[in-house]
């Protein structure tokens, strides 16, 4: 499949964005993968909230919208479920998928739980987490 010059430039920008995130967050990111239509980051459940907080508050990435949470049952004994958090940056017009692997007994932190103030971390997460 041939890509246009714009698609290739966009892909290189995504690679650069992922490299910047990896260099700034070495302990939070297990691996990254640029895709043609999105960025993919894999992390652990214990680091999900810290990574999401950085992505939301970063002036570079500005992934402030949680669009969806999707779960894939991979039918494996270890890391059976793949939980995918889909973020959108309205400023850079990029999509980011944060993937966490879990099994039946794994508890993941909520992204809708309030912090010290009454503001929610990611308001859309409340409904999405309820459905998952």
Largest distance between two CA atoms of the chain: 50
CATH of range 5-131; options 3.30.460.80, 3.40.50.720, 3.90.1150.10, 2.60.120.10: 3.30.460.80
Could you tell me which residues are beta bridge partners of residue 19? none
pLDDT tens digits for the chain (132 residues)?
677 887 778 888 888 888 888 888 888 988 888 887 888 999 999 999 999 888 888 887 788 888 889 999 988 778 889 999 999 988 888 899 999 999 888 888 888 764 434 555 666 676 666 666
pLDDT at 32: 86
CA distance 72 to 20: 28
pLDDT at 122: 66
In which region does residue 36 sit, left (phi positive, over 0), alpha (psi from -120 to 50) or beta (all else)? alpha
Where do the domains of the chain lie? 5-131
């Amino acid at each position: 499949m041939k890509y246009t010059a714009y698609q290739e430039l966009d892909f290189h920008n995504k690679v650069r964005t992922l490299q910047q995130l990896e260099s700034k967050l070495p302990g939070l990111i297990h691996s990254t993968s640029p895709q043609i239509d999105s960025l993919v980051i894999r992390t652990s459940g214990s680091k999900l909230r810290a990574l999401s907080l950085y992505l939301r508050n970063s002036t570079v990435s500005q992934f402030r919208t949680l669009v969806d949470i999707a779960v894939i049952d991979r039918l494996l004994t270890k890391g059976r479920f793949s939980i995918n958090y889909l973020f959108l940056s309205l400023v850079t017009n990029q999509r980011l998928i944060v993937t966490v692997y879990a099994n039946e007994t794994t508890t993941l932190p909520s992204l809708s739980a309030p912090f010290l103030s009454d503001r929610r971390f990611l308001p859309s997460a409340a409904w999405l987490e309820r459905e998952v």
